[in-house]
Amino acid sequence: MSNFVGLLQNENMKIYRRSSAKVMMIILLGLILAAGLIIRFGSDQPKSDPHWKQTLIQDNKVNQKQLAQMKGNKQVANYLKKTIAINKYRIEHNLKPSPGETIWNFMEDAAGNLILVISVFTIIVVSTSIASEFDTGTIKLLLIRPIYRTEILLSKYISALLFTVVCLITLFIASWLLGGLLFGFGGVNEAHLVYDHGTVYQSSWTLAIWKGYLLNCVSLFMTVTFAGLIASVFRNGGLAIGLSIFTMMASSIVITLLGRYDWVKYVLFANTDLTQYTTGTPIRDEMTLGFSLAVLAVYYILFIFIGWAFYTRRDIKA
Amino acid sequence: MANNAEAAAQPAVRLEHVSKKIGRKTIIDDLSFDIYGGEVFGFLGPNGAGKTTTIRMIVGLMRMTQGNIYIQGHSIKGDFKQAIRQVGAIVENPEMYKFLTGYQNLIHYARMIPGISKERILEVIKLVELQGRIHEKVKHYSLGMRQRLGVAQALLHHPSVLILDEPTNGLDPQGIHDLRNYLHNLSREEHVAIIVSSHLLSEMQLMCDRIGIIQKGKLIGVETVNDFIEKGSSKVRIQVDDGRLAAQTVKDKLAIDAVFIDDTTLEVPVEHEKIPVVVDTLVVSKIKIYSVIAVAKSLEDRFLEVTGGKSVE
């Protein structure tokens, strides 16, 4: 076991000592800063509304009317129901909505977009970690140690996922600090209102942010595993990076186009967005959270098994 | 070492009927030989003969189609960890992580084998004389320095089998001399079995105790360096007053194909013991002899003789 910790230390050293790791961190921080500045100075912050209860009551009347006219579109109906419920809850519990952007809103916005960036970075890290040693020839000196190839591959995979965790923690801390500086730390104690099957309750924003990170990371996790598979099979980092980023980007468009076919539910990327069961609408009505988790598990086992088989069995000719 | 006698009985590396097929092509064909602790074994062969493939099979980078390889009695197939633990190696070029320093590279390999102390790392660095620049990134190293760092990583864990592919590549004459002395010490004093492959045949002649020659995936022979060279037909060069007459005389009387070189010189292919007979014959025939010189054969001559002077097929 202590041996495996040593392997993780090795892989971490090889990830973070590369200049590319520093560049990625700088890009990540730069994007957070840019997003903050654009939101803060790109639009006027609305003033605080002293008659906010009346405004909310007005809003809800409009929403109710719209809801009554709604037919068919479940997604919009759900959104309206949620807005009405939360507004009611605010009025009843005297919870004034903050005007404009708050520290937590900013963190939520930053998460949605920047986890895509973190996905791309982790794809690069995992592909480089697995494939580049074949290009440089260092794989020969790496594999002639009393360690099975399975352990080497596992240490590379885990250290790449740890890189994701490091990025997420960086994202959390940086967006919290920047959000506080730009939009005021006053909003820190604000409660997070959750709408769950018709009822509303208060929850912690920190929890909500990390839950968002986790849900967004399902797609990241599967794409990174896919990149690892390609890198193991073809021993070509560029191919692994290109193919997995392309797949990830193209998937949402393709899935939407294929939404009317029954079999689309078995496609990996129809199941990676688990928010379709929490806040959104499933791609097909018959899909459930359990179904998606099962599909994800099957793909995952397949990826891991094929990648492992190729990495451990093939001759090293590099 | 106390167990020298015992260790000598068991080969450090044993290849048993090893074959490697890729597709339908047979790369290595039924290779069997033993290498013992305390000897430097030279692995010779033209390019493409299968030297590197064999070395890769010994260290487990390639699988063999048939046969087995044992390192200190442990099968590289069935007992990989125990077998490879005995081995330190450079396979082809010593490719290290260029974005890390020399020291970080050594730490990296030290973490993969239990029981390597920091003192050992420093000791090895001193041995290959990299103390001054060990904390620089490897990308700033010269080829010779990389080679020495490669030797350092191979020695970290006190291997009982050391495999060096082209170890003198990139070393200057002083470096080659030092490496040769060091390898001799390792084999004599620490009873390490050393496998060296090289194209520099003159280098092999100085460095190795035994050599194995491989051609087209087959082992042509395993012999000690001295036997190998002497087995080749030796020649004497004789200076006489009349070369033409002398060559004719040797041909007629001894049925040996003497070669007439110029007016006063002939070359006679003859075994060592028969040289006096040739001289006697010439003396009896009243030919004046000014000198008799045995033409020494180098490993290179012998190598070209055995492999038919061809390189890649």
Q: Rounded to 5, what percent of chain B is helix, strand, coil?
A: 40, 25, 35
Question: Is B61's CB within 8 Å of A7's CB?
Answer: no
**Chain B: nearest CA to A317, how far in angstroms?**
8
**Chain A: nearest CA to B81, how far in angstroms?**
4
| Two structure tokens written together for B190 | 């620490």
Report pLDDT digits (tens) over B296-310. Answer: 666 666 777 777 654
Query: Do B157 and B132 reside in the same domain of the chain?
Result: yes
- Domain assignment present for residue B311? The answer is no
Chain B positions touching A310 (Cβ under 8 A) are none
- Domain assignment present for residue B301? The answer is no
Instruction: Give per-residue burial for A184-195: e unless 16+ CB within 10 Å, then b.
Output: eeebeebebbbb
Torsions phi, psi for B45 (to 5 deg): 170, 155
Question: Does B69 have pLDDT greater than 90?
Answer: yes
Question: Is A148's CB within 8 Å of B109's CB?
Answer: no
pLDDT at res. B312: 36
Domain boundary, last residue among B187, B206, B230:
B230
Question: Using CA atoms, how far apart are residues A189 and A206, in angstroms rounded to an integer?
Answer: 10
Closest CA to A123 of A51, A36, A32, A222: A222
Domain boundary, last residue among B188, B212, B230:
B230
Considering A17-31, A171-185, A244-258, the range whose residues carry the highest mean pLDDT is: A17-31
- Domain assignment present for residue A64? The answer is no
**Chain A: nearest CA to B110, how far in angstroms?**
9
Query: Do B66 and B52 reside in the same domain of the chain?
Result: yes
Query: Do B250 and B221 reside in the same domain of the chain?
Result: no
User: Of B54, B97, B101, B146, which to mutate for an interface test with A (greatest number of A Cβ within 10 Å)?
Assistant: B97
User: Of A3, A4, A16, A144, which to mutate for an interface test with B (greatest number of B Cβ within 10 Å)?
Assistant: A144
Question: Is B111's CB within 8 Å of A317's CB?
Answer: no
Query: Do B141 and B249 reside in the same domain of the chain?
Result: no
Considering B185-199, B223-237, B296-310, the range whose residues carry the highest mean pLDDT is: B185-199
Query: Do B9 and B110 reside in the same domain of the chain?
Result: yes
CB B233 within 8 A of CB B265: no
How many alpha carbons lie under 13 Å from residue A105 in its C-beta half-sphere? 14
Cα A283 versus chain centre, distance? 19
Query: Do B219 and B242 reside in the same domain of the chain?
Result: no
Looking up residue B215, the CATH number of its domain turns out to be 3.40.50.300
Query: Do B102 and B244 reside in the same domain of the chain?
Result: no
- Domain assignment present for residue A278? The answer is yes
Give residue A127's pLDDT band: very low, low, confident or very high (50, 70, 90). very high
- Domain assignment present for residue A77? The answer is no
- Mean pLDDT, chain B, rounded, equals 86
pLDDT at res. A189: 78
- Domain assignment present for residue A86? The answer is no
Pure H helices in chain A: 2-16, 19-42, 52-69, 74-93, 103-136, 138-143, 149-183, 205-234, 237-257, 275-278, 289-313
CB A151 within 8 A of CB A58: no
Looking up residue B270, the CATH number of its domain turns out to be 3.30.70
The count of domains in chain A is: 1
Give residue A19's pLDDT band: very low, low, confident or very high (50, 70, 90). very high
| Two structure tokens written together for A102 | 């708050």
Chain B positions touching A20 (Cβ under 8 A) are none
Give residue B1's pLDDT band: very low, low, confident or very high (50, 70, 90). very low
Give the residue with greater pLDDT, A279 vs B223: B223
Torsions phi, psi for B115 (to 5 deg): 90, 15
**3 state SS of B223:** strand
Report pLDDT digits (tens) over A287-298. Answer: 889 999 999 999
- Domain assignment present for residue B83? The answer is yes
CB B292 within 8 A of CB B279: yes
Chain A positions touching B95 (Cβ under 8 A) are 136-138, 140-141
Question: Using CA atoms, how far apart are residues B164 and A225, in angstroms rounded to an integer?
Answer: 37
What SS3 string covers B284-302? HCCCCEEEEEEECCCHHHH
Which residue range is the domain that position B278 belongs to?
A: 233-296
Which residue range is the domain that position A271 belongs to?
A: 2-45+100-313
Contacts (Cβ under 8 Å, ≥6 apart) of B189: none
A3 reaches B (C-beta below 8 A): yes
CB B53 within 8 A of CB B27: yes
Query: Do B226 and B247 reside in the same domain of the chain?
Result: no
Question: Using CA atoms, how far apart are residues B229 and B300, in angstroms rounded to an integer?
Answer: 9
Question: Is B91's CB within 8 Å of A148's CB?
Answer: no
Selected residues 147-176 of chain A with any CB under 8 Å from a CB in chain B: 147-148
Report pLDDT digits (tens) over B90-125. Answer: 988 889 999 999 999 999 999 999 989 999 999 999
Query: Do B188 and B289 reside in the same domain of the chain?
Result: no
Question: Does B2 have pLDDT greater than 60?
Answer: no
Query: Do B286 and B169 reside in the same domain of the chain?
Result: no
Mean pLDDT lowest among A67-76, B119-128, B277-286: A67-76
Give residue B5's pLDDT band: very low, low, confident or very high (50, 70, 90). very low
Query: Do B101 and B161 reside in the same domain of the chain?
Result: yes
Question: Does B57 have pLDDT greater than 70?
Answer: yes
The count of domains in chain B is: 2
Sign of CA dihedral B135, B137, B142, B148: positive
